[in-house]
Amino acid sequence: MTIFNKKKYIITLLVGLAIGIAIVAGGLLAYNSIYPQNAARAVTEDTVQAKIDSSLLPTNIPEIVDQFSDAVVYIETTVENNASSNPTFNDPFFRYFFGDSFPSNPTPRTSSGVGSGFIINPEGYLLTNEHVVSGAKEVHVTVKGFEKPFKATIVGKDFNLDLAVLKINSSQKLPHIELGNSDNMRVGEWVIAIGNPYRLDHTVTVGVISAKGRPITISDQASGKQRVYKNLIQTDAAINPGNSGGPLISLSGEVIGINTAINAQAQGIGFAIPINTAKEVLDDLIENGSVTRPYIGVALQDMTKDLAEYFKLKDQNGAIIADVVPDSPAAKAGLTRGDVILKINDNVIKNSNDVSEIISKTKINDKLVMVVLRNGQSQFISVVVGRRPE
């Protein structure tokens, strides 16, 4: 192809492109002049959608973090055990989700553990997870703005609830954060998690409440027991090892949960203990060092259709006593294996959970009047509620 032909070809392409652009532009102008309301509607809808999307995003997160993050503390413990030298591996949630296939030294020695917590009042009381301080010989708490760590005292703790209260003493004013009401939080509401994952202090993550009332069971290697969580808050705010014990904060600047666990097998799933669970036992932990649980000392079994026919009952209501603990309140009251609890204080018992629920709401030395079926005959038996042994 000659130089002249090349130039002619290029000029033809450019002219064709210009004509195409002119046709498209002319078509748009003609459409807008004929249907101006459609064009205006499109612009308005885009503007409104942008405003709606913007209004859904929280704007006060930096202010909340600035105001309350100083109350979030870094906890380091000294533990004598056979655990791995890496303190992250000592977190039971890390071991649960990642397994135990990590190098460890079986020789008894002193190791360290790390976690988070938060100060709940100016007196220096703070909340964290029980597994953060479990087996600790010493606990040190680092508070932002203070030069040296504080030596903390474990005031009270409870394995089943995975809660612990610590106390630090300071001559200076301590920052603290208020406890909110987790029952009022709804699925979809924004939350803020602050903690110290992997020793990175005051790390902030944001997400929403994904679900409420989640149950999880985790084996605790230190004690060999099962830790059963019945009512956790699920969130997609990132929670990592070391975050345990830190606060989950609402947009009103109040703690609504205690960051507790992660599911590393599924992205974006973390869990927190509802703060109302902690509030219910906080006074017990501070005053008694443990949670006082009501107890009568029976093992229960649900009624089945076959058992209802055996006991000659009209329906499957009732809870069967499968065993009685010797020298327990139930044993002292005369309850025996094979008794069927039909009522407690005029409350009809449908299953064993009803019995447990009623007992859990009583206080030590409360009297429970039971209607019990024994040998085909109903009788009244009074049981004085006792304290569950440790």
Residues designated catalytic: 131, 162, 244
Strand 270-274, strand 225-235: pairing = antiparallel
Distance CA 80, CA 335 (A): 44
- Give DSSP secondary structure letters for 88-124: GGG-HHHHHHH-S-S----S-EEEEEEEEEEE-STT-
How far out from the chain centre does Cα 373 lie?
A: 41
Tokens of 45: 């809808």
Under DSSP, is residue 340 helix (H, G, I), strand (E, B) or coil? strand
Distances (CA, A) of 353 to 129, 299, 322: 27, 11, 14
Compute the residue count for the chain. Answer: 390
Distance CA 189, CA 324 (A): 46
How large is the angle between the packed helices 3-34 and 36-55, nearest 10 degrees? Answer: 90
Chain position carrying tokens 């009522």: 343
Distance CA 317, CA 179 (A): 40
Neighbours of 15 (CB within 10 A): 10
Continuous segment of H or E residues that includes residue 51 = helix 36-55
Distance CA 208, CA 256 (A): 12
Q: Phi and psi dihedrals of 150, rounded to 5?
A: -95, 140
- The secondary structure of residue 147, as a DSSP letter, is S
| 140, 87 contact by CB (below 8 A) | no
